Amino acid sequence: MEQTLAIIKPDGVSRGLIGEVIIRIERNKLKIKAMKLIQMSKTQAQGFYAVHRERPFFQSLTDFMCSGPVVVMVLEGENAIKPWRDMMGATNYKDAAEGTIRRDFATDIEKNVVHGSDAPETAAFETGYFFNALERV
Ligand code: GDP
């Protein structure tokens, strides 16, 4: 069993897409092991996306990520990282496959509704960033 971090980004929460995303997670047999609604500070968003600090979109991305509440979740399943990323679709919704969350709902390369860890090491860092052991079932 593998765990991954999922985030419903501020655009997804403000547009009323929490239920839509969670239905897809449950239909795809990923188990929710932890979940909460939070609003990150700018510093917390910068810490979360530290790997992207040299990217030209870092300022904009971290402003966006702390612009409103997000739902953070730990998902578990067999190789959970890949099925969750498959459900999300490509970073740019214009390149995302039919039936993916980003293809169906994203409006912008940045405002792309959801986040998912991309590797086991990032999943360990990202799940630990938001949840301690007591907050996971
Ligand atoms: P992901 O793993 O598919 O989320 O993509 P990345 O790790 O490459 O990028 C992290 C997040 O930064 C993406 O989900 C987008 O919200 C944002 N992002 C990526 N590329 C761009 C870009 O070219 N411009 C802007 N404004 N945001 C971007």
The mean per-residue pLDDT over the stretch 5-26 comes to 98
Residues 6+ apart with CB under 8 A from 110: 57, 60, 61, 64
Q: What is the pLDDT confidence band of residue 6, given thresholds at 50, 70 and 90?
A: very high
Tens digit of pLDDT for each residue in 59-115? 999 999 999 999 999 999 999 999 999 999 999 999 999 999 999 999 999 999 999
Domain boundaries, the chain: 2-40+70-132
- Cα–Cα distances (Å) from 54 to 24, 49, 59, in that order, read 33, 10, 10
With contact defined as beta carbons under 8 Å apart, do 123 and 74 qualify? no
Portion of the chain with pLDDT greater than 70, in percent: 100
Residue to mutate (ligand 1; options 4, 66, 91; most atoms within 8 A of CB) = 91
- CATH fourth-level superfamily of 2-40+70-132: Nucleoside diphosphate kinase-like domain (3.30.70.141)
What is the chain's mean pLDDT, rounded? 98
Other CB atoms within 10 A of residue 17 CB: 19
pTM for this one?
A: 0.98
Find the residues whose C-beta lies inside 6 A of ligand 1.
57, 60-61, 91, 109-110, 112, 115, 118
